[in-house]
Structure 1
Amino acid sequence: MTAADPALQFDLFDERYTVEEVVSARARRIRIEVQSSTQVRLVIPRHASRREAEAFLQSRRAWVAEKCAEMKRAEARTPIDASPMRWDGRDRLPLRGVDRIVHLEPAWVRPAQVRIEAEQVTVFAPSALLAQPVSMRNLMIRTFKREAQRDAVALLDAEAARLGVRYQHLRLGDQRSLWGSCTSAGGINLSWRLVMAPPEVLRYVVIHELCHRIHADHSDAFWALVTRQMPDYSQPYAWLRDHGARLHQLLSTG
């Protein structure tokens, strides 16, 4: 998701929280956005000085600490499951927000086939292939990418028409720093891992990026437009903040 200007980094207080300083041509006032338990964004209008911004940040020290503590508690309630896939028929993977058992079914089929059901994902493949963790992981990634492509295109077409904008193309990637981005030419880039989240999370990211076709920043006008298109966007935003790290652990290639 795009920023107005290249960001500067500095430490905040004794807790060493990272603050991202963003100078915005559209911002009308200095504001603080607590992104996570360790990440704070300081948005500075072009007419304001850095000294003013830092003074404002210091004056909100208690508020920032409280918000970061809230996010730490939320992260503690959502432990990251970093255990590797066993590929023994007992694994579970989320798809569109629903945890589904990954069932392995020996079958003489080439290539391997994947069937998605309400509570289960079934892989049909020869026994020798089912016993290869890397092959199974790559097969599931291809399957989830295909599902992500289908969902994202449908959402982009519908939400672009509703917003009255156009996008040039969709690219799916596995970037760790951004869930989505919008190029100046109208290209939309999304993480395929969003297909594992509840559908409203993917919809929020799609709307967020399409709104950048009108406002190429995170100004008040931008957020007003996001709110108009999705009044309850704070719920999927919070879900992604609290659960996004786990999505990167699943089907990890590390």
Structure 2
Amino acid sequence: MSDVYLPGDPPIPLILRRSTRARRISLRISQLDGRVTLSMPARLAEHEALEFARSKEGWIRNHLDARGADIEVGLGAEVPVGGKMLKVLPGAGRRVVLGADHVEVPGPADRVSARLGAYLKEVARDRLAGACDDYAARLGKRYHRITMRDTRSRWGSCTSDGGLMFSWRLIMTPPEVLDYVAAHEVAHLAEMNHSAAFWAGVEQIYGPYKAPRKWLRDHGSGLHRFKF
């Protein structure tokens, strides 16, 4: 696997991946981080794959434009918290303070991003633990632990021994979306699948879930644009 560039304004970095199983050239754009992967058969000449990418330049740029640029979190930036956009402002004292339309972060400017990220992870853990406690009680099941990660492929998971894992970025979503994901993973304590019985369990402990599930499909990937 190597990195090359598609010329233009601006140049587009391409991840060139050779595969013995690939039968043709293909392009994939990650909605999470905007990476463009160009896959090709192992024996194909590199210039042929790059020519294919050049022929798809318009398609690539349209998709990258639709995704939007990454956002470096710092003073003056706006970040979503609980589904609302809050402006990051300098704070006094030692604590991060959430306001109605802003969040105050104390400390040196070059530490604001890391400090806010750490704070949001703590709040996410507290909110998710509370939601999981409630839903587990409704289901009549117990979980054994909660782990927070910055996952890219899933918002949560449940292991067979009752371990729950969540993306801390759920704290950026509207509260009903975070609650839905908590209920979804708790429901796996009873059904380790996505059968009709599983979805009935989600509805039993959470209620109608189609709207928050759709919100995640439509908007979830955009939360990874915020770089802490």
When normalised by structure 1's length, the TM-score is 0.61
- Could you tell me whether the CA contact under 8 Å between 1:153 and 1:170 is conserved in 2? yes
| 1:89-139 CA-partner distances (Å, limit 9, x unpaired) | 2x111111111111124x5x5xx53111121100122xxx21x1xx22211
- Mapped partners of 1:197, 1:180: distance in 2: 14
Q: Which residue pairs with 2:74 in the alignment?
A: 87
Q: Which residue pairs with 1:68 in the alignment?
A: none
Q: Which residue pairs with 2:99 in the alignment?
A: 117
What is the percentage of aligned positions where both structures have the same residue? 38
Q: Which residue pairs with 1:198 in the alignment?
A: 174
Structure 1 residues 137 and 81, CA, compared in 2 at 3 Å: closer, same or farther?
Answer: farther
Q: Which residue pairs with 1:101 in the alignment?
A: 87
When normalised by structure 2's length, the TM-score is 0.68
Shift of 1:225: 1.6
Shift of 1:208: 0.7
Segments of structure 2 that go 5 or more residues without pairing to the other structure are 1-25, 29-62
Question: Which of 204, 209, 212 is the aligned partner of 1:228?
Answer: 204
Q: Which runs of 4+ in 1 moved over 6 A?
A: none
Structure 1 residues 86 and 140, CA, compared in 2 at 3 Å: closer, same or farther?
Answer: closer
Structure 1 residues 81 and 104, CA, compared in 2 at 3 Å: closer, same or farther?
Answer: farther
Segments of structure 1 that go 5 or more residues without pairing to the other structure are 1-15, 19-75
- Could you tell me whether the CA contact under 8 Å between 1:211 and 1:222 is conserved in 2? yes
- Mapped partners of 1:210, 1:184: distance in 2: 12
- Could you tell me whether the CA contact under 8 Å between 1:141 and 1:251 is conserved in 2? no
Q: Which residue pairs with 1:27 in the alignment?
A: none
- Could you tell me whether the CA contact under 8 Å between 1:200 and 1:236 is conserved in 2? yes
- Mapped partners of 1:235, 1:159: distance in 2: 19
| 1:50-92 CA-partner distances (Å, limit 9, x unpaired) | xxxxxxxxxxxxxxxxxxxxxxxxxx9x954424336342x11
- Mapped partners of 2:211, 2:204: distance in 1: 15
Determine which structure has greater relative contact order: mean sequence separation of CA pairs < 8 Å that are 6+ residues apart, divided by chain length.
Answer: 1
Q: Quick one: which amino acid aligns to residue 72 of structure 2?
A: M
- Mapped partners of 2:145, 2:184: distance in 1: 16
Question: Which of 152, 156, 165 is the aligned partner of 1:180?
Answer: 156
Q: Which residue pairs with 1:10 in the alignment?
A: none
Residues matched between the structures, number:
170
